[in-house]
Structure 1
Amino acid sequence: MEDILRQLSVTLRGMWLYRWWGLAAAWIVGPIIAAIVYLLPDRYESSARVYVDTQSILKPLMSGLAVQPNVDQQIGILSRTLISRPNVEKLIRMADLDLAAKTKEDRETLVINVTKALQIREAGRDNLYTLAYTDTDPERAKRVVQSMVSIFVESGLGDKRKDSDTARRFIEEQIKAYEQKLIEAENRLKEYKVRNMGTLGAGGQDYFRKMSEVSEQLNQAKLALREAENSRDALKRQLSGEESVALPEKMSSASLASMPVPELDDRIESMKKSLDGLLLKYTDKHPDVVGARKVIEELEAQKSAELQARRKAAASAASGAGASVGSSSNVNPVFQQMRLSLAEAEANVASLRARVAEYDSRLQALGAASRTLPQLETEFTQLNRDYDINKKNYDALVARRESATMAVEMGATSGVADFRLIDPPTVPSKPSAPNRLLLMPAAGLAALLIGGIVSFLISQIRPVFSDTQVLREVTGLAVLGAVSMIGDTDRMRNQRRSKVFFLGGVGALVGLFGAMTVWLLLARMG
């Protein structure tokens, strides 16, 4: 710290030796700067305040139906991007600023100057903006601000319509692309279903259910076949017994009527079991119960008719007692009925065997096709997934297109935002710049600073040694001593006079700038 202070002291002593040079430079530069400040042209600022109302009663009503743009964000971006070259060129034409621009260079300079002079400031609250322009002509400044307000409003509405049209065109293009994708996917699905209709049907689950149903039908057919074969074998055994035993001559009609009728007895027994099952679920008046009882009555009536026929056959057999025993077997009605029942049983067995063979072949075909089922299911899943994704995107795009259309109509009806001109532009009566009351003292300080800089530079160009220590440091030689100068009375008087003149010169320069500042203040107040 001591070295810094010593160096500063040496520098100040060197500047003091050339103080008159610095004072002269200050007096030369100071009036020039003061004249420049005084002669600066007055600039007038015209401004307008615009409030952008982004609230609309339709917004909450159309929430969820129409696209709700972030109007606040759009207005903020608009305010920051309004001062662009196309808008500035349009502003110049609207305000007739291009009348004085004769050449291309003049027009380019005009665009640059207008861009620098334009300002858009937020006025301390949301969506309240101040549009300002500074010019040497107050009337021209007002015209520019009026044109700027018009461009601000038009840009907000025009950009919104342009964005909406662009978005709708993009959505329409995407919808057409997805329509083509859906058509292609539907064609692939159609070809796949036609190609694998017999194997897969409507899906893997239906296929396995079909296999289960065919297997169950095969089991039922086999069971019915075994029952039919057992019934046929029983008839054969009964028929063999009838052929070996002749019909007695004196068999009563009651014993003949009590003989069974196998085909009718089985059907009656089956219907009775079915009727018992229906009675567990329904009442006696249910249509199914009534129908079952009616069928049982008809079967019993048929059995009664059959037994009546047997009685008549037995009576006619008894009246022909003179016939031989060998011929009695041929006219035995029971034997004939059993032969008919056996023929029906044989036909039933043949039919059931054909059914069993058909179900067995179907089951084998389904089992053979089951090896390709996983691959078919994978292909079907992939095709269906692509179709579902495309269909979902297509539906979403259609919904957004309708939402965008509704948003455009809503914007056309109520407007995106309401631009309200709070303070219209006016012709300024007083200049806003330059601020000479601040520039004039600053010019005085600048003159003094320039004088100090000149003194410092000369002291560095023509340095002097103010003490022995500086001489020793600069030369690197040992300094044995110094000879002091004892000034006489006249020399000391001259030094004091020189200091007074110097301070007087500095004070006069400061007073000059102070007087000019006071004069400017009085002129502004007047």
Structure 2
Amino acid sequence: MNELYEQILAALHSVWNRRWLALAVAWIVCLAGWLVVAMIPNSYESKTRIFVQLEDVLAQQVGIGSGSIKRDIERVRQTMTSSVNLEKVIRSTHLGDEITTPREMESAVAGLAKQIQVKSEKENLFEITATSGRSDFSDGENAKLAQDIVQKMIDIFREENLSGSRGEMRETLAFLDQQLAARQKELESAEQKRLAFEAAHPQLIGGAQGLSQKLDNTSDAVRNIEADLAAAQSALAAIDQQLAGTPRTLVVAGQAGGPRGALAQAEADLTAMRARGLTDNHPDVISANKQIAALRKQAASAGGEAGTPNPAYSSLLSIRADRQATIQSLQVRKAGLQAQITAIAANQTQEPGVAAEAQRISRDYDVLRQQYDKLLQDREQLRLRGQVETERNAIKFEVIDPPSAPRVPVAPNRPLLLLGVLVLGIGAGVGAAFAIGQLRSTFATANGLERAMGMPVLGTISLALTDAARSVRARRNKQFIAAGAALGALFVILLATEFIQRGSVA
């Protein structure tokens, strides 16, 4: 520990003995470093923040969802710093005042690309930053240039938002119109071909698929008619049964004599018995039935008809005639449909090649029609979407923070650099003095001499100064302190000058 302490003291003594060398080196390094720092131009930074609205009810209704808007925003963000847009910025600001050749423009574009940053703070919040630090511009001009660059980037963002997607929409609509025109010509040609074929072969309209569908529809109609015919025949049989049990004339009891009058009276009595609840096994009912049977034979043998016409019988005859007409109509329809089925089957079997051609023509026409309808629907949807984007501007944005007017440079950090140069200069002076002391074979302590020579030191002689020497030393120390203070004062002056220049930026 004592040895380390002695070495530190020896180093300090060596530096102090060569303090003028250390101070000279410090002055040289500081002056050179401060000159370099002064030559570094100030860089001024301007920022702006843009808020983009992603949700729009009408836009979502026409297919412009938030995902599509995000993709458009990302496209705009990536293309903002493209060479074309940066060239627009250069030509609209002071950066393009002295550019005359394409090579100079390329160099300016490459330099400007490093000075502009477009960052996404959130999904719908963007920050645009521009930095300007040209050495041929003053601080005020650099600050104004940075603000102009950011404002131009906002204008480009607006132009890309308003015109970029619209240009793509116009190109897409133009392409769809061309495709629709081509499909329309093909569809018209296929339709003319189909009409010509159907005029030549009317029985094969629709092709094999159409014939099969017609056959199925006709067969279903025949089955339905057969069901209706069976029901009509069943109803006619029921009417015939009712007619067989209904008399043509009515004989009213008490108004006609002979067997027919007695028969009518007996039938009326039988009806009254049944109305009282008597069954067919009741003796009175059995007797009345026998009497009615005998009277009917007598009335039949007597011949002739007496009594009034039965209206129920006449009504049943009218109903029977209607149902017979219905049965005849259904039979005629059935015969016609069966003839159609026979003709369709004959066409399928006799002309398979023509049927296949009809099917091919019909299929080609249907395919072209579906493609045309799909393209037409897509074009209308895109047109509506374009109108929404044009009138409502699906991507709505708002400049939250306008381009800032920088008053303090962001680079370089000149006060810190000035302090660093001062520290570096002092360190360089101390290091130079220490290095020179190490190169010379002198020893600051007796222990150092013993370790170097390997021999014991008997004693040391202290330095004795006269009054004149002490006066000279004191004067030199004052001069050294003044020179060191001058270096510190120069550092303070430079700092003050820096802050004054910062405050003077418009």
**TM-score, with length taken from structure 2:** 0.51
CA shift digits 1:114-163 (9 cap, x unpaired): 23222212234523333433335312222222222112111110102101
Structure 1, gaps ≥5 residues long: 1-22, 215-270, 296-358, 451-483, 491-511
Please name the residue that 2:212 is paired with.
204
Aligned positions of 1:40-59 closer than 5 A = 40-59=40-59
**Aligned-partner SS, 1:416:** coil
Selected match of 1:121 from 114, 119, 122: 119
Q: Is the 8 A contact 2:81 2:113 kept in 1?
A: yes
1:39 to 1:208, Cα distance in 2 relative to 1, 3 A: closer
1:383 Cα offset (Å): 3.4
Answering whether residue 405 of structure 2 is matched by residue 427 of structure 1, we say: yes
Answering whether residue 174 of structure 2 is matched by residue 169 of structure 1, we say: yes
CA shift digits 1:403-452 (9 cap, x unpaired): 112112222221122221111123211101112456568779999999xx
CA shift digits 1:27-56 (9 cap, x unpaired): 988875554234311111112222222333
Structure 2, gaps ≥5 residues long: 1-21, 134-138, 223-231, 243-311, 326-337, 429-451, 459-485, 501-506
1:172 to 1:95, Cα distance in 2 relative to 1, 3 A: same
**TM-score, with length taken from structure 1:** 0.50
How many residue pairs get aligned? The number is 333
In structure 2, distance between residues paired with 1:393 and 1:368? 31
Selected match of 1:157 from 131, 150, 162: 162
In structure 2, distance between residues paired with 1:286 and 1:67? 73
Answering whether residue 402 of structure 2 is matched by residue 397 of structure 1, we say: no
1:272 to 1:159, Cα distance in 2 relative to 1, 3 A: closer
Q: Is the 8 A contact 2:87 2:109 kept in 1?
A: yes
1:489 Cα offset (Å): 6.4
Q: Is the 8 A contact 1:131 1:148 kept in 2?
A: no
In structure 1, distance between residues paired with 2:239 and 2:127? 87
In structure 2, distance between residues paired with 1:273 and 1:423? 92
- AA aligned to 1:289 is I
Q: Is the 8 A contact 1:441 1:513 kept in 2?
A: no
**Aligned-partner SS, 1:420:** strand
Aligned positions of 1:36-435 closer than 5 A = 36-60=36-60, 63=61, 65=62, 68=65, 70-124=68-122, 126-135=124-133, 137=141, 138-198=143-203, 202-206=210-214, 275-276=236-237, 289=319, 291-292=321-322, 370=349, 372-373=351-352, 375-435=353-413
**Aligned-partner SS, 2:381:** helix
**Aligned-partner SS, 2:385:** helix
Q: Is the 8 A contact 1:34 1:513 kept in 2?
A: no
In structure 1, distance between residues paired with 2:324 and 2:215? 40
- AA aligned to 1:140 is L
- AA aligned to 2:202 is M
Q: Is the 8 A contact 1:37 1:440 kept in 2?
A: yes
CA shift digits 1:368-397 (9 cap, x unpaired): 961543x55544444333333322221121
Q: Is the 8 A contact 2:180 2:372 kept in 1?
A: yes
CA shift digits 1:326-378 (9 cap, x unpaired): xxxxxxxxxxxxxxxxxxxxxxxxxxxxxxxxx99x979965961543x5554
In structure 2, distance between residues paired with 1:125 and 1:204? 59
**Aligned-partner SS, 2:410:** coil
In structure 1, distance between residues paired with 2:418 and 2:317? 118
**Aligned-partner SS, 1:203:** helix
Q: Is the 8 A contact 2:211 2:344 kept in 1?
A: no
Please name the residue that 1:466 is paired with.
none
In structure 2, distance between residues paired with 1:212 and 1:57? 50
Identity of aligned residues (%): 23
Please name the residue that 2:290 is paired with.
none
In structure 1, distance between residues paired with 2:124 and 2:165? 20
TM-align CA RMSD: 5.2
1:517 Cα offset (Å): 8.9
Q: Is the 8 A contact 1:45 1:141 kept in 2?
A: yes
1:165 Cα offset (Å): 0.5
